[in-house]
């Protein structure tokens, strides 16, 4: 199967001790490496306030794993995240698709900037003499009709 680039963000309960957190992260990294994937980086983002209460917690420890893996391995990692009691939330994003989408948007924006930066060429040159006003060119017979 093809290896793809993923970011896995998960939130761990705030009451988990640091050494237990390190063991948990090492276990997930082991899952990736034993399944034939590769861990690019692991970033502990620290304790942060959650946007809403999750399992009676209003804050949590954020961890970001960037990995190269196939779909079956990511499914197994997500299964382990789901059944792991200290993990309260997680999300997996396939970054190769995201990078492709972002580069496409940047290319579209770049072409728009080029088009807007170019001076607007007028389709025909302006006449040398202005056209007479509408009142001057109207015939004089358009006055009120004669009544009989």
Q: Give the range of the structural domain holding residue 27, as residue numbers without chain letter.
A: 4-98
Task: Find the helix or strand (DSSP H, E) in which 40 lies.
Answer: strand 38-54
User: For residue range 16-38, what is the model confidence (pLDDT) as tens digits?
Assistant: 999 999 999 999 999 999 999 99
Residue 45: inside a domain: yes
Domain tally, the chain: 1
CA 64/CA 92 separation, integer angstroms: 10
The CATH number assigned to the domain holding 8 equals 3.30.70.60
Is residue 137 one of the residues assigned to a domain? no
Q: Measured at the alpha carbon of residue 42, what is the angle toward residues 75 and 5, in degrees to the nearest 5?
A: 45
Asked if residue 70 is part of any domain, the answer here is yes
Burial level of 128, CB count in 10 A (0-12/13-18/19+)?
exposed
pLDDT digits 0-9 by tens, 101-132: 888 999 999 888 888 877 655 556 555 665 55
* Segment 40-71, tens digit of pLDDT: 999 999 999 999 999 999 999 999 999 999 99
């Amino acid at each position: 199967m093809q290896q793809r680039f993923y970011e896995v963000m998960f939130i761990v309960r705030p009451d988990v001790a640091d050494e237990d957190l390190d063991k948990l992260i090492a276990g997930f990294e082991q899952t990736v490496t034993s399944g034939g994937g590769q861990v690019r980086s692991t970033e502990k983002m620290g304790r942060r306030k959650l946007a809403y209460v999750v399992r009676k917690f209003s804050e949590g420890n954020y961890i970001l794993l960037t990995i190269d893996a196939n779909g079956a391995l990511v499914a197994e990692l997500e299964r382990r995240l789901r059944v792991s009691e200290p993990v309260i939330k997680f999300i997996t994003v396939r970054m190769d698709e995201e990078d492709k989408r972002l580069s496409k948007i940047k290319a579209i924006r770049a072409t728009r900037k080029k088009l807007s930066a170019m001076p607007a060429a007028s389709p025909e040159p302006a006449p040398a003499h202005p056209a007479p006003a509408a009142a001057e060119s109207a015939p004089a017979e358009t006055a009120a009709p004669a009544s009989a």
